[in-house]
Amino acid sequence: MSHDINELRSEIDKIDLGLLDLIEQRMAVSRKIGICKREMGKDILDTSREADKLASLQANAGFESREYIDDIYRTIFEVSRDHQKKPCFGLLGRTLGHSYSPQIHSLFTSDYSYTLIEREPEELDELFASRIYGGFNVTIPYKKEAFARCDVTDGASTETGSVNTVVFGEDGKIYGYNTDYYGFMYMLRSSGIDPSGKKCLILGTGGAACAVLYGLKTMNAGDIKSCDLETEINYSNVYDICKDAQIIVNCTPVGMYPKVDGCVIDLDKFSCLEAVADVVYNPSRTKLLQEASKRGLKTAGGLSMLVAQAYKSSRFFVGDNEGAEMIDEAAEEAIAGVVRKLESQMRNITIIGMPGCGKSMLARRLAARTGRPLVDLDAAYTEKIGETPAETIKAKGEEAFRLNETEVAKEYLVKSGMIISCGGGIVTQPRNDFYLKCNSNVIYLDRPLEMLASKDRPLTQANGVEKLYEQRHARYEELADIRISLDRFESKTDFFNEAVKIINKGGVSL
Active-site positions? 143
Is the distance from CB of 275 to CB of 187 less than 8 angstroms? no
Could you tell me the sign of the dihedral formed by the alpha carbons of 59, 61, 66, 71, in that order?
A: negative
Is the distance from CB of 375 to CB of 412 less than 8 angstroms? yes
Could you tell me the sign of the dihedral formed by the alpha carbons of 193, 198, 204, 209, in that order?
A: positive
| DSSP string across 192-236 | T---BT--EEEE--SHHHHHHHHHHHHTTBSSEEEE-TTSSS-TT
DSSP 8-state assignment for residue 451: G
**Peptide bond just before 253 cis, omega within 30 deg:** no
CA–CA separation, 189 vs 219, rounded Å?
10
Is the distance from CB of 203 to CB of 265 less than 8 angstroms? yes
Is the distance from CB of 351 to CB of 343 less than 8 angstroms? no
Is the distance from CB of 202 to CB of 179 less than 8 angstroms? no
Task: Label each residue of 96-127 as H, E or C.
Answer: CCCCCHHHHHHHHCCCCEEEEEECCHHHHHHH
Query: Residue-wise over 20-38: b if at least 16 C-beta within 10 A, else e?
Result: eeeeeeebeebbebbbeeb
Is the distance from CB of 141 to CB of 95 less than 8 angstroms? no
Q: What are phi and psi of 201, to 5 degrees?
A: -125, 120
Q: What are phi and psi of 327, to 5 degrees?
A: -85, 115
CA–CA separation, 201 vs 221, rounded Å?
11
